[in-house]
Structure 1
Amino acid sequence: MKLLIIHYHLQPGGVTRIIDSQLLAMSKFIASEDICILTGEPCGKGALTGSVATEVLPELNYIDSSKPSAAECASMLKKIEERIKSHISPDTVIHPHNINLGKNPVLTYAVHKISETGIPVLNHCHDFAEDGRPENLEFLKYVIGKCFGADFHKILYPDKARYLFGVLNSTDFERLLNCGVRRDLVNLLPNPVHFPEMDTAKKRSEIIDTIKASFDIAQELPIFTYPVRAIHRKNIGEFILLASLFADKANWIITLSPQNPLEKPEYEAWKDFCRNNDVKVFFEVGEKIDFNELMHVTDRCVTTSMKEGFGMVFLESWDWGVPVVGRNIPAVTRDFISNGLSLPHLYGNLFVETETNKSDFPQLTLREQMKFILSLKSSAALKEQLLKNNPGIMKIFQNTPDKIIKQNMETVKNSYSLEAYGKKLFDIYTKLSGQS
C-alpha cells in the first residue's frame, strides 16, 4: 500500500501536528518510502518529526478568495491534477486534510475528479466551511459552481464506496449524516495525544529561573498557561479579562503569536492594550522557553476558545498531569466526558453588563471588550457584579484531587493513544484499498 497525504501547508501546529502523529502511527504499518506528502509550501521548522518524501506545489496552498477567474481556476486545476496523478499507482490511497474547509476549492474539486477514476480517498475533515465560515462557503460555491459548473453539494459530499470521511467528534459525525452522507462512509477519528518523552531531571526552580530570565513572572504565584496561537477564535480578550480580574492569583501566559497576517492586527492591539494599561499578561513565552519545560511547571492549562475542531487542549494538559480550566465547548467536550474524562474546572459563559445590554463576553466588539476591562480595573462594584453573575469562573482556582488527575491521565492514555489511532487509520486504508 502507498499513501499520498495532501494538505495546504506544513506550518507547525494544528493539522500539521496531526499529520505528524499520523506518520508516527503509520510507521508500524507502511514503510516511510511508500508515503509522500504533497503540500503548498515548505515544511516549517520542527513541524514534522518523521522522515518522508515531501513535495511542494504552490497551487495547493490557500488561495485568495477575491474570486479568481474561471481560466485561472482551470489552470490551477490542471497543475494539481497532474501532480497528484504522478503519484498514483494501483495500490495508492489519497488522504487529503481539510479540503471541505474552503481555503482552496480548486483542490477540493481536483480530489473529487481524481476519485471519479476509482482512486480511494479518505477526506479527513478537521473543520467545515458551513460551521461559521460564510466567506469560505461562498468561495466554495463560486469556484465549484460557477467556475467549474459542478454541483457544490455532490463535490463536497459524494456518495461513493471508495470515498470515505474521517471526522474528529460525534458532533461532526452527525453533521455529515445531516448533509446526506451514508453512515457507513463516515469514520470517527479523534486526534491522538502524543508527546515525545521528556527529560524531567530539571527541577521546577531551575525552569522557573529560566523563565524569569526573560519574563518578569512572580515566583510565588502559580502559572496559568494558554498553550495556543493567539488567533481570534481563541477569544484572547477573555483570557486578558481573567488576567486583569485575577492579577494577584496567577501568572498569565500565552505561548504563541499568530502566523496568519490577517490575525496579527488584533493580536498586536491586545499586546498594546496590556502594555499601556498595566495588565500583566506574558505573551509569546513558548517562542523563548522550551514548550515541554513550560508545561512541566504550569499549574493550570487555560482555554477561553469559542470554537474548536477537536479541542486538543482539553486532553493534552492531562498528559502532563495539569488540570485544564476555562470556557467549555459542549459540542467538543461531550465525547471526552463520555469516554470517562472529568472536566470539573470549566464554565459555560462569561456574562458582562455593558451600557446597553447583558452579553456573553465574546459577543462584544474588540473596542467594547477593551472598554469593559478598563472599567473593571477601576470599579470594585463592577468586579463584584461580574463575579455574582458568573460564579462558575471561580472553578478555575479549585484544587483538583489526585484521583481525578490520575483517572484523566489514564483516560487520555487508553482512549486517545497513538497506537489505537494508527490501527484504526490503517483499517480504514485497508477497507478503502480492498473495495472495487
Structure 2
Amino acid sequence: MNHPPVAIVHYHLRRGGVTRVIETASACLTKAGIPHVILCGSPPDKKGKLPIKVVEDLGYDDERSGNTSGIKIVHALRAAVRESFGSGKVIWHLHNHSIGKNRALPDAAGILAESGDAMILQYHDFAEDGRPGAYPKLADSESLYPFAPQIIHTFINSRDRQFLINAGLPASHGFLHPNAITPPAKVKVLPRRPDHPLVLYPVRGIRRKNLGELFLLAALAPKGTRFAVSLKPDNKRWIPVHDEWTAFASDTELPVMLDAVGRVSPAPGAPKTFASWVRHATHFISTAVAEGFGLGFLEPATIGKPLFGRNLPMVTDDFAAEGIHPGRLYDRLLVPESWVGLETLRQSLIRSMRATLESYGHPMSNQHLESSFVAMRHHGYLDFGNLPEDLQRQVIHRLLVGNEDDQILAQSGDSTQCLVEWLAESLAITQPGVRSDQLGPYSTKAYAERLKELYARASGATPETPGHLLKHKVLGEFLKPGSFHFLRT
C-alpha cells in the first residue's frame, strides 16, 4: 500500500537502545523502498548512510542553548520535511516524546496531532515510571497523550500498553511493537572452555540494573567464578551509586569487575574490547528490576551463551506468549527479615517513597505506605532486589563474616531452593535456553512487516480531532499502591 513518506523524530542518535531501534527501522524502510528522513537534535556519534537532518530544537533541554517552544519545533520539523520531500503529507514517527527530556516536544506533538497528519507515537520509557526528576517538567502539559484514529500508539511490552488502555486509550489505537533482535557478528569460539565461569552483564551500571545482586551472587558462587559489568553510567545522576559499588568491590575483594570493557581484560593477554568480553564470557546475566523491552534476555541466545538471573514478568510474559523462556530465572532472592530489621526497612521506605511521590506531585498516603510495606514481605523474608543499596550491602557483609550461606533462597514460582545450590546448577549449564529459530517474532523481517502495517493503518485512517488522555490517570497506573520499588526511583 502506498502511503506518505515517514519522518522519524528523536532527541539524538547517540549510542543506545532507541538509536538501535531507529537504525533498524531505517534499514527496513530503505529495503522496502519507503522514503524517510530521521530528524534529531544533534549529529550522530558515528557517520553512516542514514538519511539524517539535524533540528537543534529537538535536543535535550539541559544540552541545548536557548529556549524553544512547541510551535517553533513544529515549524523546524516541517521545514526539514519540505527539504527532503517537498510539500505534501507525511507520517510523523516520534520516539519517547513524553519522557521529559525536552519540555516543548509534547507541545509539538500536540500541534502535529491537531493537524490531522498520520502519527506514530512509540514509547520506550515513561516519565511516570521511575523518573521522578523528569516528570515535574511535564506536569503542566495538556497534550502528553493525544489519541485519534490516525494516531497509533506503539509499545515494546504489553504492560505499558495495558496501562495506557486502563487510562483511557482505545485498545484499537495501541499496538505491541517489540524491538528486533539483530544478531551481532559471529563470536569466535575459544579453543577450550575456561576453567572457571565468567559471567557478563552487558549493560551500563545504572541503578535499576541492581548491581548489588551481582555482589550477592559473587559471595555465594563457586570459587573462581567472576562477574563483570560492561560500562559505567553515562548519566551523572547515577555516577555516585556506581562509585559506591566500586568502593565496595575494593573493600570486599569480591570478584565483581565494574566498567570492565576497555579497562581490564577478560583473560590474560586478551583484548579489552566488548567483543573480547563476549567471546570469553561463559554466561550472561540480568539482575535488572525494570526493563523496557528486555533485549538482554534474548540476545545471548544469538551467540550461543546461556543466561540466568532475575525474572521480569513485565517483559518475559511477552516472551512466554511466544513460547520463549530465555534462561534460568528466579522471581526473588529471599533474605531473612531479621537480617535487615523491619523498622529499619520501614523508615527507609517512608523516606524514599515520600520523596518519590512528592516529586510526582502526590502526597504519601497511609494506603501507599502500608500496601508497599506488605508487598515487600514474603512470609518472613524480603526480596534482596527490592532493598536500597545500603541495606543490600548490610546483607552481603553479614554473609561475608558469618556462616549462613544456606539462609538465602532463590524463589521461582511457588518453589524455593538454597541460592548456593541454585547458582551452582545455573553455572553448570553450558547451552542457551532458547534456540535461534525461536526468535522469529523478533526478527528484522517481522519488525519490518509490523512497521509497514502500522504506517498503513495510520495513513489510511479517517482523521478526527484528537482527544487527550488525562495525565493523572496515566500517572496513577504507574504509581499504584503496593508497586513502589527502591531501585526504580
- What range is the shorter-chain TM-score in? 0.7 to 0.9
Distance 1:168 1:105, change over 3 A: same
Distance 1:344 1:362, change over 3 A: closer
Residue 386 (structure 1) aligns with: 408
Specify the code of the residue in structure 2 equivalent to 1:356. G
Does the CA contact (< 8 Å) of 1:347 and 1:392 recur in 2? no
Does the CA contact (< 8 Å) of 2:155 and 2:174 recur in 1? yes
Which aligned pairs between 1:213-252 and structure 2 lie closer than 5 A? 219-246=194-221, 248=223, 250-252=225-227
Residue 85 (structure 1) aligns with: 78
Q: Distance in 2 between matches of 1:292 and 1:173?
A: 35
Residue 40 (structure 2) aligns with: 39
Does the CA contact (< 8 Å) of 1:345 and 1:395 recur in 2? no
Which secondary structure does the structure 1 equivalent of 2:168 belong to? coil
Q: Distance in 2 between matches of 1:117 and 1:387?
A: 56
Q: Distance in 1 between matches of 2:41 and 2:215?
A: 35
Does the CA contact (< 8 Å) of 2:334 and 2:410 recur in 1? no
Which aligned pairs between 1:166-245 and structure 2 lie closer than 5 A? 166-198=154-186, 200=187, 202-205=188-191, 219-245=194-220
2:394 aligns with one of 371, 377, 384: 371
Residue 147 (structure 1) aligns with: none
In the TM superposition, what is the alpha-carbon distance from 1:224 to its structure 2 partner?
0.8
Residue 212 (structure 1) aligns with: none
Specify the code of the residue in structure 2 equivalent to 1:279. L
Does the CA contact (< 8 Å) of 1:121 and 1:162 recur in 2? yes
Q: Distance in 2 between matches of 1:20 and 1:313?
A: 18
Residue 14 (structure 2) aligns with: 11
Specify the code of the residue in structure 1 equivalent to 2:283. R
- The reply on whether 1:268 has 2:243 as its aligned counterpart is yes
Q: Distance in 2 between matches of 1:401 and 1:377?
A: 28
Does the CA contact (< 8 Å) of 1:234 and 1:306 recur in 2? yes
Residue 260 (structure 2) aligns with: 285
Moved over 6 A (4+): none
Could you tell me the percent identity over the aligned residues?
Answer: 30
Q: TM-score, normalised by structure 2?
A: 0.75
Q: Distance in 1 between matches of 2:335 and 2:388?
A: 13
Residue 315 (structure 2) aligns with: 332
Q: Distance in 2 between matches of 1:28 and 1:372?
A: 53
Distance 1:247 1:377, change over 3 A: farther
User: Whose relative contact order is higher, 1 or 2, with alpha carbons under 8 Å and at least 6 apart?
Assistant: 2
List alignment gaps of at least 5 residues for structure 1.
66-71, 145-151, 209-218
Q: TM-score, normalised by structure 1?
A: 0.83
2:298 aligns with one of 294, 315, 337: 315
List alignment gaps of at least 5 residues for structure 2.
82-86, 264-271, 343-380, 463-489
- Does 389-398 or 238-247 show the bigger shift? 389-398
Alignment RMSD: 2.7
Distance 1:248 1:400, change over 3 A: closer
Does the CA contact (< 8 Å) of 2:335 and 2:383 recur in 1? yes
Residue 107 (structure 2) aligns with: 109
Does the CA contact (< 8 Å) of 1:230 and 1:267 recur in 2? yes
Q: Distance in 2 between matches of 1:273 and 1:158?
A: 46
Which secondary structure does the structure 1 equivalent of 2:39 belong to? strand
In the TM superposition, what is the alpha-carbon distance from 1:400 to its structure 2 partner?
4.5
Residue 138 (structure 1) aligns with: 136
